[in-house]
């Protein structure tokens, strides 16, 4: 049974059974936009144009972008290419990859925002529909990615699903993080510590911080009616990140390749409800 308007001791809001419908509507729109944007990702395309198309789709649906105007952010998406961990700014010059690096200067960037063959990118979209937030992201490839990149994308995707499998009443948030970390490290990759998932619902970011690493049994206990995101960032190299001078773009400190997937989910009486499931069954880029 879900209590009325309750909050846990950790400040986590417990939503009502009727609230799941609002989250499904918002989540489905965000997921559909990610489905539809896939055909617009190719070598020669710009991240600025991809974002423009996303904003157009949000508007066409009569929804609102949650990111435009959020803490001074100006875009309908974050587009994070290659060594950008998260919060990549569409239209901004893409930071240089390790193999392109001539200077050690972390601010050195490519000349423009044009995608090239083999680039991998995360596109993260958050929409508001009738006051409910849908927040989801996936990986895309411009052209063909190499084996290493494909493996990183696969492991990151599967780590999110491992985390989601740990969502049920009685488990803890630590169980989610533990499932993700164990899986990722078993593949000799690393989990980013500097960014986490978050509660959402009627607000964009609320308690708790959903860590993608941790000890089994630690953290707050999961209860029916909790809504939050799980959004692991996984690096081929070290877990550390650096934020560039634009104060948004987070890159891997060692410039290694990185990937991320994100779902918005709700805890049900028996398990989990995924709000941002792809309507077209396209969540994984290489599994259709
Ligand atoms: N969608 C991101 C998240 O997963 C947040 C982006 S905030 C922005 O929480 F301002 F950078 F867009
Ligand atoms: Co999020
Ligand atoms: Co997001």
- Among protein residues, the one whose CA lies closest to atom 11 of ligand 1: 87
The mean per-residue pLDDT over the stretch 54-79 comes to 98
Pocket perturbation via mutation, ligand 1, pick of 27, 75, 80, 87 by most ligand atoms within 8 A of CB? 87
pLDDT at 65 over 70: yes
The mean per-residue pLDDT over the stretch 48-70 comes to 98
pLDDT at 170 over 50: yes
**231 CA closest ligand 1 atom index:** 4
pLDDT at 238 over 60: yes
pLDDT at 267 over 70: yes
**71 CA closest ligand 1 atom index:** 10
pLDDT > 70 fraction of the chain, expressed in percent and rounded: 94
pLDDT at 67 over 80: yes
Q: Which residues line ligand 1 (CB under 6 A)?
A: 67, 70-71, 73, 78, 87, 124, 126, 135, 229, 231, 262
Give 87 Cα–ligand 1 centroid separation in angstroms: 6
How confident is residue 3, by pLDDT bands cut at 50, 70 and 90? Answer: low
- Among protein residues, the one whose CA lies closest to atom 7 of ligand 1: 67
pLDDT attached to residue 102? 46
**70 CA closest ligand 1 atom index:** 10
The model's pLDDT over 118-153, given as tens digits with 9 standing for 90+, comes to 999 999 999 999 999 999 999 999 999 999 999 999
Pocket perturbation via mutation, ligand 1, pick of 65, 68, 86, 206 by most ligand atoms within 8 A of CB? 86
pLDDT at 58 over 60: yes
CA angle 228, 232, 235 (to 5 degrees): 165
The mean per-residue pLDDT over the stretch 189-203 comes to 98
How confident is residue 282, by pLDDT bands cut at 50, 70 and 90? Answer: confident
- Name the phi and psi angles at 140, rounded to 5: -130, 160
The mean per-residue pLDDT over the stretch 257-261 comes to 98
How confident is residue 283, by pLDDT bands cut at 50, 70 and 90? Answer: confident
Structure tokens belonging to residue 37: 């944007």
The mean per-residue pLDDT over the stretch 81-104 comes to 85
pLDDT attached to residue 76? 99
Q: What is the mean pLDDT of the chain?
A: 95
Give 161 Cα–ligand 3 centroid separation in angstroms: 16
The mean per-residue pLDDT over the stretch 207-235 comes to 98
Return the number of other C-beta atoms located less than 10 Å from residue 103's C-beta: 8
The mean per-residue pLDDT over the stretch 140-169 comes to 98
The mean per-residue pLDDT over the stretch 205-212 comes to 98
How confident is residue 288, by pLDDT bands cut at 50, 70 and 90? Answer: very low
pLDDT attached to residue 174? 98
Give 83 Cα–ligand 1 centroid separation in angstroms: 17
pLDDT at 91 over 50: yes
The mean per-residue pLDDT over the stretch 43-66 comes to 98
């Amino acid at each position: 049974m879900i209590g009325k308007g309750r909050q846990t001791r950790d400040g986590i809001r417990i939503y009502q059974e009727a609230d799941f419908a609002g989250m499904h509507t918002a989540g489905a729109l965000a997921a559909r936009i990610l489905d539809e944007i896939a055909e617009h990702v190719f070598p020669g395309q710009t991240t600025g144009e991809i974002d423009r198309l996303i904003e157009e789709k949000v508007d066409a649906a009569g929804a609102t972008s949650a990111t435009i105007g959020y803490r001074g952010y100006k875009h309908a998406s974050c587009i994070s290419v290659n060594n950008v961990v998260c919060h990549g700014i569409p239209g901004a010059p893409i930071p240089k990859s390790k193999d392109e690096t001539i200077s050690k200067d972390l601010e050195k960037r490519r000349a423009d925002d044009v995608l090239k063959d083999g680039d991998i990118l995360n596109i993260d979209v958050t929409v508001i529909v009738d006051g409910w937030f849908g927040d989801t992201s996936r990986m895309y490839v411009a052209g063909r990615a190499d084996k290493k990149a494909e493996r990183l994308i696969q492991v990151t995707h599967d780590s999110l699903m491992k985390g989601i499998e740990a969502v049920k009443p009685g488990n803890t948030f630590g169980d989610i993080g533990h499932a993700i970390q164990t899986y990722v490290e078993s593949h000799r990759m690393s989990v980013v510590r500097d960014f986490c998932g978050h509660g959402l619902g009627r607000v964009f970011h609320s308690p708790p911080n959903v860590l993608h690493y941790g000890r089994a049994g630690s953290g707050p206990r999961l209860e029916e009616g909790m809504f939050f995101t799980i959004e692991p960032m996984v690096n081929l190299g070290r877990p550390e990140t650096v934020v560039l001078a634009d104060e948004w773009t987070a890159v891997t400190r060692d410039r290694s390749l990185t990937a991320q997937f994100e779902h918005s989910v709700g805890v049900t009486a028996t398990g989990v409800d995924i709000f941002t499931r792809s309507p077209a069954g396209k969540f994984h880029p290489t599994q259709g």
